[in-house]
Every structure is written in C-alpha cells, then in structure tokens.
Amino acid sequence: MSYFDSVPQAPADGILKLSVMSKADTNSKKVDLGVGAYRTDEGKPWVLPVVRKAEQRMAQDPAANHEYLTVGGLPALTNGAQTLIFGGDSAALKEKRVYTIQTISGTGANMVGAVFLKQFKRPDDAAVYISKPTWVGNHRSIFQTAGHEVREYRYCDYQTLGLDIDGMLADLRAAPRAQIVVLHACAHNPTGIDPTPAQWAQIADVMQERGHFPFFDCAYQGFATGDVDRDAFAIRLFVDRGFELLVAESFAKNMGLYGERTGCLHAVVADPARVAAVSSQLNRLSRATISTAAAYGAKVAGTVLQDPELYGEWQQNMGEMSGRIMEMRRALRQRLEKLQTPGDWSHVTSQIGMFSFTGLSAAQVQRLREEFHMYLTDDGRISVAGLNSGNVDYVAMAIDAVVRAG
C-alpha cells in the first residue's frame, strides 16, 4: 500500500500532449501549428536582436551578479512594465494607485492574482467568469486550483468565428453582481478575436453597471498589432473609467523570453492609501511560493524598457514579428480562396495575433494529424507563427482536402 494510492491521474494537458506527438513525428512534411511561440520564415526560434544587445550589455557590466532580487522584483522591470501597460501619462501612476510585483511570467501572475482574490474578494462567494473559449487548459485550471468557482461567458460566435458581443454582454448582465471577470487585453487566446474600441466601451459599461471586477490577462502587448499603445487600449479604458483591477503581464511573446519566465502582476486601486496593504499581501503570497522572482529575464527586459535606444529597437522587432504573422494570415486566406475551399475564410485575416480559430472540427483536426502530419489543437486553433512561405501552400491544400471531405 502506498501513501499515494488515493492520487488520481490528472487529465492530459492538450497543448503539452500535442507537442509530444509533434516531436515524435519524423515525417518531412510535418507542420507544427500548436506551439505558442514565434518562428521565423525558416521555421526557427528567433532571439530578438534587441535582446542580444541587452544580454551583451549585461555580460560586459563589471557589477553584474547573481544575487537574489527583492520580493517585489527588479524595479527596472516593474517600473518599466507599469509605464508600458498604463501609459506614461496615466493618472493612476501619477496618483500612485498602482502596485506591481514581478512574477513567473503571465501564468505566475494569473496564479498570484487568483490566490490573492480567493483570500480577499468581495463578496467571498464571487465566481470567476472566463470566456468561452479561453486559454486552453490553463485559465480554468489556475482559478479552480486557487479555490474559485469558475463559470463561462459567451465570447466566440461559432457560426461567424467573430465576437458574440450580444451573448457576452447578456451573460455579464445576467451574472450576479460583483463577480470577477477575466478579460484578454488583446490577441485573444485561442480565437484571435478582439472587441473593437466601441465594443470594449460596451463591455466596460455593463461591468460598471453590475459592479464586476476586471482581471486582465495581457500576454501579447505589442506582439498583436506591433503597437504597444493600441494593444493596451482596453486596460487603459477601464483604468480611466475608474475601475479597480488586476493585470497579468507576460514578456514571453513580445520579447521572446519564453523560458526566462518574466512577467508582472499589476494591482490598480481607487485609494492610494490602500496600496501598502495590497502590496504587503501580494509580497507575502509571492514570498510563500517562489521566495523571489527570477533575475535574468527581468534584467534583460528591464534593460530594454529603461533604455530609449533599445526600447525603440524593440518596437521595430515587435513590428517585424507581428508583420510576418499578418502576412501569413493573408497568404493562408488567399490560398484557401484560390482553391475555392468551401466556406468563408475572411476570419483568418479579421482575427489578430498569434492564434487563429479556423472553425475546423475535431474530426478534421484528427485527419490533418494522421494523413497530413499537421499538428493543431482539437478545437481547430492554429498558431499562425508556425506558417511560413515553405509550408503555407501545403497547409492550405490539406485544409482544403479535409473540409471538402466533410
């Protein structure tokens, strides 16, 4: 008899399982459209040139060391991240109503925020509402693991593969007052469907009417459109409207610091007198879980954020990444339309960011894996970053074949 006999097998993580299957496939035509990381047109990982420069500066710094960071993290990162998210002219920053703590990327920020809200949310039985669909496998898991009840609000219109704004607003209105609502700041994962500025204003109206608490997840700022201010529109709108809120921020995608696990959690409060208490509790939670945050990625990101020359080059690097993804969206749509693939493929270019919700069924996805060695998630989500000039024709041909087969 084992002490661990009562431990059940956890459900397999869909993304990790897909990655294992893809790596095991040695077919020369294999296309991995599951990985949530940027790839060049040659299908290779890309270290941003600006990150290389920051690393070189760090290596040449005679004062460089490997000491622990403070519990709150590296100020060069946390201060720079505040300005990046809220804008240099933010009233919330000028009024000192924001506290930022460094986290283990965006996932860690979500978890620290989830545990914090579980302890201090009002009312104490408030549920967490996530979009349907949302970040595959993780949003629900994070908030349930922290002890919250998790519910869904409508988001994707599965007929048009656009935003179901009416369904979303109806569900937010129908929810009990003062619930916690997880919102994707830009480049919604997994759909690539973002509200327009006018729709964000409608969402804010309903959230204010119902007293809901916003929890933004921002993993793609600058990566989505190439414009950090445009991608922060929703967050800044809610702050300007007077909301108290949390923002989880990641530098995995927009700086390519995937394995360095660099991120922040921002708390915006109405009364600056509350910052001391909020910061003390967030620091306590972080101390109890990771002691102090990782230094290397924070130093890279902090160097870029604090140096005007490097910051400008970073903007160019993000523009190159987002531009290539937009180009691949156009290329895939053009090829599907040239093949006269049944259906409307305009959603491929109307969606935004790394992912596209194709509308393919689970059976079609399975056939793509088995017959065409194409790897995408069961819900039909593809990572557009996995497309390149060498495989987009093959991908379009394969999609055309499975769609025609029904």
Does the annotation count 345 as an active-site position?
no
CA-to-CA dists, residue 75 to 84, 216, 378, angstroms: 14, 22, 41
Residue 137 predicted with pLDDT over 80: no
| Catalytic annotation, pick one of 32, 46, 135, 314 | 135
Does the annotation count 217 as an active-site position?
yes
Residue 14 predicted with pLDDT over 80: no
Does the annotation count 46 as an active-site position?
no
Residue 154 β-bridge partners = 132
Q: What is the mean pLDDT of the chain?
A: 96
| Catalytic annotation, pick one of 217, 231, 307, 379 | 217
CA-to-CA dists, residue 202 to 168, 206, 213, 218, 270, angstroms: 10, 6, 15, 20, 22
Outline where 339-377 has alpha helix (H): 347-350, 362-372
| Catalytic annotation, pick one of 46, 253, 299, 307 | 253
Q: Which of 32-36, 84-88, 135-139 is predicted least confidently?
A: 135-139
pLDDT at residue 406, rounded to an integer: 80
pLDDT per residue as tens digits for the range 143-196: 999 999 999 999 999 999 999 999 999 999 999 999 999 999 999 999 999 999
pLDDT at residue 55, rounded to an integer: 98
Residue 52 is which amino acid? R
Give the residue-averaged pLDDT of 94-103.
Answer: 98
The share of the chain scoring above pLDDT 70, in percent, equals 100
Give the residue-averaged pLDDT of 85-96.
Answer: 98
Residue 380 predicted with pLDDT over 90: yes
pLDDT at residue 11, rounded to an integer: 85
Residue 241 is which amino acid? R
Give the residue-averaged pLDDT of 298-311.
Answer: 98
Nearest to 278 by CA among 288, 266, 290, 261: 266
Report the alpha-carbon distance of residue 113 to residue 61 in Å, rounded.
Answer: 35
Residues 313-334, buried b or exposed e (16+ Cβ, 10 A)?
bbeebbebbbebbbbbbebbbe
CA-to-CA dists, residue 247 to 126, 187, 242, 273, angstroms: 18, 15, 15, 20
Pairing relationship of beta strands 245-250 and 213-218 according to DSSP bridges: parallel
Would you give the distance in Å from CA 171 to the centre of its chain? 23
- For residue 213, what is the enclosing H or E element? strand 213-218
pLDDT at residue 12, rounded to an integer: 80
Report the alpha-carbon distance of residue 115 to residue 287 in Å, rounded.
Answer: 13
Report the alpha-carbon distance of residue 108 to residue 347 in Å, rounded.
Answer: 32
pLDDT at residue 115, rounded to an integer: 98
- Give the largest Cα separation in the chain, rounded: 64
Pairing relationship of beta strands 180-184 and 213-218 according to DSSP bridges: parallel
- For residue 218, what is the enclosing H or E element? strand 213-218
